[in-house]
Chains A and B, each alone.
Chain A
Amino acid sequence: MGGTSFEYSYLLILVLLIGSIFFAVAPLVIARILGPKKESSIKNATYECGLVSKGDPWVQFKVQYYIFTLVFVIFDLETVFLFPWAVAFNALGAFAFVEMLIFIGILAGGLLYAWEKGVLEWR
């Protein structure tokens, strides 16, 4: 009965899905039905971490943020690869060490290039 247990494990996911949808939707629905509605301009204002909101949210963001994000993602991912290597350092040996050196070398090359091109300077 390999098939049934296989399907059964997916049934659990379905139950969890339904449960989580219910859990999220139910308070909204209940509040809508039961809650008294007294609207005011302060209550209808945009929520911004409890502070009084300032200005229009539709502002242009500086395109440079995107470069920073890109560089961040590259080095973030680098750590993803570095951690398993660090954990299994002794088991993997010299071959993995050289491989990681090449990997880090390529990334460092990318950083050097970005640096020289002035990408890291905020203008």
Chain B
Amino acid sequence: MNFAAILDSAKERLLETLQLPLLIEFLLLAAAMSVLMIQAFFPLFSRRRMTWIVILSFGFLLVLSLLPIVRVINTESLVNVFGTSYRLDPWTMTFRSFFLLAGLGVCLLALPWVEHQQENAGEYLSLLILAVLAMVLCAGVADFTMLFVTLEFLTITSYVLVGIQRRNPLSLEAGIKYLIVGATASAMMVYGITLIFGMTGTLQFEAIDTFLRAGNAGSPMIKFGLLLVLSGLGFKIAAFPFHWWVPDVYQGAPLPTVALLSTGSKAAGFVLMIRVLHDAFQPMAEFWQPILGLLAAATILYGSLAALTQNNLKRLLGYSSISHSGVMMLGLAAGTIFGQQALIFYLYAYLFGVLLVICPMALWETPSSQHEISEYSGLRDKSPWLAAAMMVGLVSLAGIPPLIGFFGKFLLLIAILEQQLYGLAVILLIGVGASLYYYLRVIRALYFARGDIGSHPVPALHQKVILGALIALTFFFGLCQEPLWRQASAQWLDWFS
């Protein structure tokens, strides 16, 4: 055998390996285990270096998830893994890249936090990777068993990520609240799943769809079961009657966890909702569409109104996150594929906005920070970079053109107007109006208030570069939405072929 042949066969092997359906998931698992082991056996290993390694691995996996190696899978076909519990279709891949991007962003955020966190940094990073792994698995869920397992995986890691600062009573309180709420939600969901299983005799989404199409869509038991499942998922995305944990948990949790909860965890809830509603309960659309519309309206109004009077930036983010959940639920209430694509675009917009707001907060944080808005008054004079990044993030979240947040809201507005849901459109506009008020109030503190700010860390060069890149992306995708829209609408697979 000559050298070229060996090279060829090696290349083929490599391609084969890269085409393994769960390659990225296994790599994530290996990364989480190695971080945990390195931390336990080499306690002197620099935490900073480890965080950078994790950031680079997230970047590598993100690139891997975007590579067109999986060209064999066109938009029609799909790959089933673990029997029929997990399926690898374009939606899975779209969401997988989103979650890896969210993980990358949260890790970048965690960098300053990990440095001044005295203990548990390795565990934190490892759990962060595991949470991302759980989300990635959520993306391909194709039956209720897998749904429950992935959701529990995600929630249990999140409990620890919330309550990891064991010496801080606020963090502990947040962790316990989240645990109790999450356990209740899981219990409700399991009850719903049993009802659905009892009535349909199957846990597979596709089989449920077939069963419902055979003229069984009216059964009240199935409706009740679906409502319970949606309530369980509603806790995850913080929809209206299940939202009350959000402000307290956001206030107590460390900043990177807040970013993870409000972007990745929320997106995982939404992907599961899309999976359940679109893959299994599409024949019952007439039943769940009005309910979701109503809940979306209530969520938007509640989040916006409660955010108006907040003086703590973390609580403000919590309430505005509720309001954003409502806006995203509009994409589901529209009941169309376009609505779901708009939802994913909005998730990206929200991710960039949240990172831009929380990154400066993380860089500005000192051990005594309470994150009151007044602590940020006059930030412009102390650190124009942080103030600018925060302002761009807030403006994007408020939905002002030409930033990316505007197009997220715009697409969702189109999606509901297409379905003639004018009432929801009006409520969306009310929400946007309220968000302008409460976000601009923060910007006023940043730029026009004079505050007595103590000594704070000054952002280093690489942190300025990260902030600059985020600002640039927010502008770029706001002005040129095509690449992101292709990604969000799962069209990027045939983009390459």
A109 at the interface (CB under 8 A from B): yes
Flag if A116 contacts B33 (CB, 8 Å): no
Chain B residues touching A, majority SS:
helix
Residues of B within 8 A of A112 (CB): 37, 40
Q: A117–B123 Cα gap in the complex (Å)?
A: 12
List which A62-81 residues lie within 8 A (CB) of chain B.
Answer: none
List which A93-123 residues lie within 8 A (CB) of chain B.
Answer: 106, 109, 112-113, 116-117
Flag if B33 contacts A109 (CB, 8 Å): yes
Residues of B within 8 A of A109 (CB): 33, 36-37
Range for the number of chain A residues in contact with chain B:
under 10
List which B340-375 residues lie within 8 A (CB) of chain A.
Answer: none
Range for the number of chain B residues in contact with chain A:
under 10
Q: A117–B36 Cα gap in the complex (Å)?
A: 11
Please pick, from B29, B33, B40, the residue contacting A117 in the complex, using a CB distance under 8 A: B40
B41 at the interface (CB under 8 A from A): yes
A28 CB to nearest B CB, Å? 33
Residues of A within 8 A of B29 (CB): 106
A120 CB to nearest B CB, Å? 13
Closest to B33 in A: A109
Flag if A106 contacts B33 (CB, 8 Å): yes
Q: A113–B195 Cα gap in the complex (Å)?
A: 40
List which B29-50 residues lie within 8 A (CB) of chain A.
Answer: 29, 33, 36-37, 40-41
Q: A6–B333 Cα gap in the complex (Å)?
A: 37
Q: A117–B29 Cα gap in the complex (Å)?
A: 21
Q: A112–B36 Cα gap in the complex (Å)?
A: 10
Q: A106–B41 Cα gap in the complex (Å)?
A: 16
Residues of A within 8 A of B40 (CB): 112-113, 116-117
Residues of A within 8 A of B36 (CB): 109, 113
A52 CB to nearest B CB, Å? 40
B24 CB to nearest A CB, Å? 15
Q: A106–B29 Cα gap in the complex (Å)?
A: 9
A31 CB to nearest B CB, Å? 38
Q: A113–B126 Cα gap in the complex (Å)?
A: 12
Closest to B40 in A: A116
Residues of A within 8 A of B33 (CB): 106, 109
Closest to A110 in B: B36
A74 CB to nearest B CB, Å? 13
A94 CB to nearest B CB, Å? 16
A118 CB to nearest B CB, Å? 10
Closest to A105 in B: B33
Q: A21–B33 Cα gap in the complex (Å)?
A: 50
B281 CB to nearest A CB, Å? 25
Residues of A within 8 A of B41 (CB): 116
List which B1-49 residues lie within 8 A (CB) of chain A.
Answer: 29, 33, 36-37, 40-41
Q: A34–B33 Cα gap in the complex (Å)?
A: 65
A109 CB to nearest B CB, Å? 5
Residues of B within 8 A of A113 (CB): 36-37, 40
Q: A106–B36 Cα gap in the complex (Å)?
A: 11
Residues of B within 8 A of A116 (CB): 40-41
A25 CB to nearest B CB, Å? 29
Closest to B29 in A: A106
List which B232-283 residues lie within 8 A (CB) of chain A.
Answer: none
Q: A77–B189 Cα gap in the complex (Å)?
A: 23
Closest to B34 in A: A109
Q: A118–B41 Cα gap in the complex (Å)?
A: 11
Residues of A within 8 A of B37 (CB): 109, 112-113
Q: A109–B35 Cα gap in the complex (Å)?
A: 11
Closest to A109 in B: B33
Closest to A115 in B: B40
Q: A106–B33 Cα gap in the complex (Å)?
A: 8
Closest to A113 in B: B40
Residues of B within 8 A of A106 (CB): 29, 33
A113 CB to nearest B CB, Å? 5
A84 CB to nearest B CB, Å? 15
Q: A113–B40 Cα gap in the complex (Å)?
A: 6
A104 CB to nearest B CB, Å? 13
Interface centre among A106, A109, A112, A113 (most CB of B within 10 A): A113
Q: A109–B29 Cα gap in the complex (Å)?
A: 12
B153 CB to nearest A CB, Å? 12
Q: List 13 A-B contacts (CB under 8 A).
A: A106-B29, A106-B33, A109-B33, A109-B36, A109-B37, A112-B37, A112-B40, A113-B36, A113-B37, A113-B40, A116-B40, A116-B41, A117-B40
Residues of B within 8 A of A (CB): 29, 33, 36-37, 40-41
> What would 11 more interface pairs be, CB under 8 Å, given A106-B33, A113-B36?
A106-B29, A109-B33, A109-B36, A109-B37, A112-B37, A112-B40, A113-B37, A113-B40, A116-B40, A116-B41, A117-B40
Name the 3 nearest CB pairs between A and B, nearest first.
Answer: A116-B40, A113-B40, A109-B33
